[in-house]
Amino acid sequence: MEQMCRADFPKDFLWGSASAAYQIEGGWKEGGKGMTNWDAFVRIPGKTYKGTTGDVAADHYHRYKEDIALMAELGLKTYRFSICWARIFPKGVGEVNKEGIAFYQNVIDECLKYGIEPMVTIFHWDLPQALVDAYQGWESPKIVDDFVRYAKTLFTYFGDKVKYWITLNEQNIFTTLGWLTAQHPPGKFDAWKTFYQVNHHAFMAHAKTVLAYRQMGGTGMIGASFAYTPSYSMDCRPENAMAKANYDDLQNYWWMDVYAYGRYPVAAMNYLKQKGIEPKMAEGDEEILKKAAAQISFMGVNYYKSCVCAYNPPDGVTFHGRINTTGEKGSGQEVGIPGIYRNPANPYLLTTDWDWSIDPSGLWFCCREITSRYALPIIISENGLGAFDVKTEDDQIHDEYRIEYLKEHLKALREAIGEGCKVIAYCTWSFTDLLSWLNGYQKRYGLVYVDRDEEEGGSLQRFKKDSFYWYKQVIETNGTCL
């Protein structure tokens, strides 16, 4: 399409980077922290690549000052990180763990010392195991009040210093992999009705948290971060265009419409009712969802890839195709919902070693669609490339492929801004290398290399990659060097 106009990044643009507690902190038994669902799950044989755990991870728990000093050297304007619920409430409820509060207060203060805005994710998948044991965690409506109590505790202790809050990270991913494909805790398979009920509980936790933040006098920005995979119809045949509409309703709008409008997509809800798997809502839930939708500040987007949609016959591919978690290119399988849609590979795009399409234009597409559909500001809370990085004998990491990936995505983001999309922040995933959940430590995302492999050990020393120096220049020039 002919370029509408060119614009620079806003002068107050928040150039950032991101992480998650379980993936970087380590210190899993320290500081009064309780057991999480991930601490338990990774100990089940075969669940993660080569049995990797977050017991030590990148050891950020002990090295946060070193890491934040590197962020300052890079010039970050914001650092997005998550708080581990079990560090604040070891049993999920009860008395506050003051050691946990002190740790995150130190992280926040260290960021502010360097002029880095802390952007806090309240929940990034690590749930206190005690709540799973007590009532199956997200499967029970009891979790809503416990979550809100936890969130209000964070607002009480940190609300005067934190201006940006993300309630839930990738609700669509942790619920899908937890209750449909058994790849994340609690490791359940094809539990479709429970899946939709779990999501409703998560929506209510998000909504009540937003309302609590405002009721407590919070004047900062608050919203959720969604793993957005925009879709393209395979061609202009009506059945493929309808497959795209089905995909969008069930895989994108099901979440974003609730965050932004406080309601579920009509066609998707009718489909679930026909299947008998729709979520049950308590009296007053719809009103609460709508009130919260009117008070969110942004739509958070974690963008990595786009997808293609095509008609899927009733006996077609299912949701349970193999996901590439090894980095063996081409080992992933096509997935879909029989009779609804399937997601074939896009022949026009390159892919990563983990079979994710590389599509900078998809980020542009995301921003345009959110702006037109929801009229909300946007925070790109994650965007990055997982790859096999190699450290040379002289401690250099030449990740020109990551530089190219980030550069093209930022150029696409700039185009979206030029067309009127209000983008507040952009966070690379991730700042340091970290545990990539099921993929182990071999799938590296960081601007900073961490010296460790799948086995525990290694020096854990930090090394700046070429992408670190490149992103530093981008920040210094506010993106004009692109």
Q: Which residues are catalytic?
A: 382
Report the relative pairing of strands 164-169 and 231-233 from DSSP bridges.
unpaired
- Whether omega for the bond prior to residue 17 falls within 30 degrees of 0, making it cis, is no
CA dist list (Å): 159 to 218, 371, 377, 429: 7, 28, 21, 25
- 46 vs 316: CA distance, rounded Å: 28
- Contact indicator for 314, 333 with CB cutoff of 8 Å: no
- 382 vs 80: CA distance, rounded Å: 9
Angle at which helix 400-418 crosses helix 360-374, to 10 degrees, equals: 30
> What is the amino acid identity at position 62?
H
Report the relative pairing of strands 307-309 and 231-233 from DSSP bridges.
parallel
Token duo for residue 284: 């007053």
Token duo for residue 93: 């409820």
- 180 vs 316: CA distance, rounded Å: 17
Q: b or e along 208-219 (b: 16 or more beta carbons within 10 Å of the residue's beta carbon)?
A: bbbbbbbeeebe
